[in-house]
Amino acid sequence: MSRLETFTSNVVLSGLVTPAALDRARGSLPQVADSDAPVVLARLLIQAGAITSYQARKLLVGATRGFFLGGYRILRRLGEGGMGKVYLAQPEAGGELVAIKVLPPSKAAAEEQALHRFRREMDLSRRVKHPNLAKTIDVGRERNVYFMILEYVRGCSLYEMIKSESGGPFRVPDAAQFFLKVLAGLGAAHEVGLIHRDVKPSNLMVTPNGDAKILDLGLARMLGEEGGLTRPNVVIGTLDYASPEQLGDAARADQRSDLYSVGCTLYFTLTGHPPFEGGDVVNKIFKQRMDDPEPLERVARGVPSAFAAIVRKLMNKSPADRYQSCAELSADLARWTDPQVVRSIIGSAGEAARAFRPPPPDLDDVDLRFLSVEAKSTEGTPSLVANSLRDLGAAEPPVAPMHKPPPPSRLAVVVPMISDGATHRFKVRDERQRLAHFIAIALLLGVLGIVLLVVLRSFAA
């Protein structure tokens, strides 16, 4: 069987393309080498809107299953977290795009705790509804695959926005306005007793209209929950943003722990890096529990000391000395949403950071196709031959890069070895120096004693 026939068979088995659409694509296939034909046909199907580039990559490597789940058609992968993979999907009958969070069967089989946590997230996510919390539409199970149907939030994460080339730290008024929206959603969760336990920049989405959406309740718990799934001496959360008490005993974390994480995230938003950057796991835990970060007003331009004090209070090591609720923090943040307030305190330095610009709106279905026009042949007509599997990319996106690149290597300093003879000479010289010091001190004391005796005798006479 030729490569083209193999690929065509995979397309049919997948159920992604109707026979009529497949026949039309094959009818427009130009004369190409057998090795290029599958990629060219995949490209034609993408341009016709029959499949997405993600689906094409999977089909080209031989996959025929995994394109449908729970009545939804999987379009592409959005990301991956500690509790599963997230895909963009659409109802088979058509309709609005959604995000599907899937617990891989292999992970569920290998880690009993993972399955329990995922089921728990499925339950907790339906207990609270708020415009600033990503909505859970439905949950389900198909054979041995557990999944959740979530609202598809367009935009980018706060982390991506600040770390992008066109991004950077926020100005104080913009940060205050954005976090007021975050606190509105987080406060709604706290009101029903839900503690997030993983508030961080990558779990906060910035929508094209500048709104905020809180994602991922995979590590959440209910206040007063007994037993639970948190084991002693197990770190829950993200080290750069977890509170001291959460790192000590995650079962004790309450709403004030979430507010500590809000403080760390606000610190990142204004500086572009977490409060305690670098170091290994032990070092990060120690700093979160024992150290204070570099004062915000020193490391972030345009941040007044009074605003830095809000972040400092949020990150207090003692929960009793922090803000006690989202409402209390919101009252203080609301005073900083006016740029004139910041300008009246520190002048033009308040404009040092970037102005807030929401991410551009997503392209609807066009972003699921190739946007570039095919390379033209020497005759000036479009050519579909100059395509290869490499053009379509890998079947799965690579893991995101580390937040901080590894430090450059340093040249080693070579210390010459000292021979035994040289060591002996050093010891002899040291002993002679000590003996000379002792003799000098003894002579000095003797002279002082003689002088003292002469003085005493003169008084006696």
Give me the pLDDT at residue 248, please.
81
Q: Name the pTM for this structure.
A: 0.69
pLDDT in tens, 294-316: 999 999 888 999 999 999 999 99
Q: Which residues are catalytic?
A: 198
Cα dist. 161→31, 49, 201, 216, 429 in Å? 45, 30, 9, 18, 65
Give me the pLDDT at residue 381, please.
41
**Terminal C-alpha separation, the chain:** 130
Q: Which residues pair with 279 in a beta bridge?
A: none
For residue 222, pLDDT beyond 60: no
For residue 230, pLDDT beyond 50: no
pLDDT in tens, 255-292: 999 999 999 999 999 999 999 988 788 888 888 888 88
Q: Indicate the domain borders of the chain.
A: 1-65, 67-152, 156-367
Indicate the angle between helix axes 53-60 and 37-47, nearest 10 degrees: 160
Percent of the chain with pLDDT over 70: 73
For residue 422, pLDDT beyond 90: no
- Helix %, strand %, coil % of the chain (to 5): 45, 10, 40
For residue 95, pLDDT beyond 50: yes
Nearest-angstrom CA–CA distance, 55 and 87 = 12
Residue 351's contacts (CB-CB under 8 Å, 6 or more residues apart) are 171, 302, 343
Nearest-angstrom CA–CA distance, 428 and 423 = 9
pLDDT in tens, 379-414: 444 443 333 333 343 333 333 333 444 455 555 444
pLDDT in tens, 345-387: 877 666 665 666 667 665 444 343 333 333 334 444 444 333 3
Give me the pLDDT at residue 1, please.
67
Give me the pLDDT at residue 105, please.
74
SS3 state at 259: helix
pLDDT in tens, 328-341: 999 999 999 988 88
Render the burial of 210-232: b for 16+ CB within 10 Å, e for the rest. Answer: ebbbbbbbbbbbeeeeeeebbee
| Placement of tokens 């609807």 in the chain | 364
Q: Name the pLDDT band for 59 (thresholds 50, 70, 90).
A: very high
For residue 445, pLDDT beyond 60: yes
Give me the pLDDT at residue 184, please.
95
Give me the pLDDT at residue 389, please.
37
Nearest to 120 by CA among 210, 18, 225, 49: 225
pLDDT in tens, 187-210: 998 998 888 888 999 999 999 999
Domain 156-367 -> CATH class: mainly alpha
Q: Residue 90 carries which side chain, given as an amino acid letter? A: Q
Give me the pLDDT at residue 431, please.
75
HSE-CB for 27 with a 13 A CA cutoff: 7
Q: Which residue has the higher pLDDT, 2 or 42?
A: 42
- Out of 142-146, 264-268, 334-338, 429-433, the most confident range is 264-268
pLDDT in tens, 110-123: 666 666 766 776 67
Q: Specify the range with the lowest mean pLDDT, choosing from 112-121, 242-251, 444-453.
A: 112-121
Report the chain's mean pLDDT, rounded to a whole number.
Answer: 79
Residue 224's contacts (CB-CB under 8 Å, 6 or more residues apart) are 193
Q: What is the mean pLDDT of residues 441-453?
A: 87
For 92-147, give the DSSP string. Answer: TT----EEEEEE-HHHHHH-HHHHHHHHHHHHHTTS---TTBPPEEEEEEETTEEE
Nearest-angstrom CA–CA distance, 198 and 92 = 33
For residue 165, pLDDT beyond 60: yes
Q: Specify the range with the lowest mean pLDDT, choosing from 44-58, 166-180, 363-377.
A: 363-377
**In degrees rounded to 5, what are phi and psi of residue 404?**
-120, 130
Give me the pLDDT at residue 82, please.
62
H-state helical runs in 272-324: 281-290, 296-299, 305-314
Render the burial of 285-312: b for 16+ CB within 10 Å, e for the rest. Answer: bebbeeeebeebbebbbbbbeebbebbb
| Placement of tokens 């959603």 in the chain | 185
CATH number of 67-152: 3.30.200.20
Indicate the angle between helix axes 37-47 and 3-14, nearest 10 degrees: 40
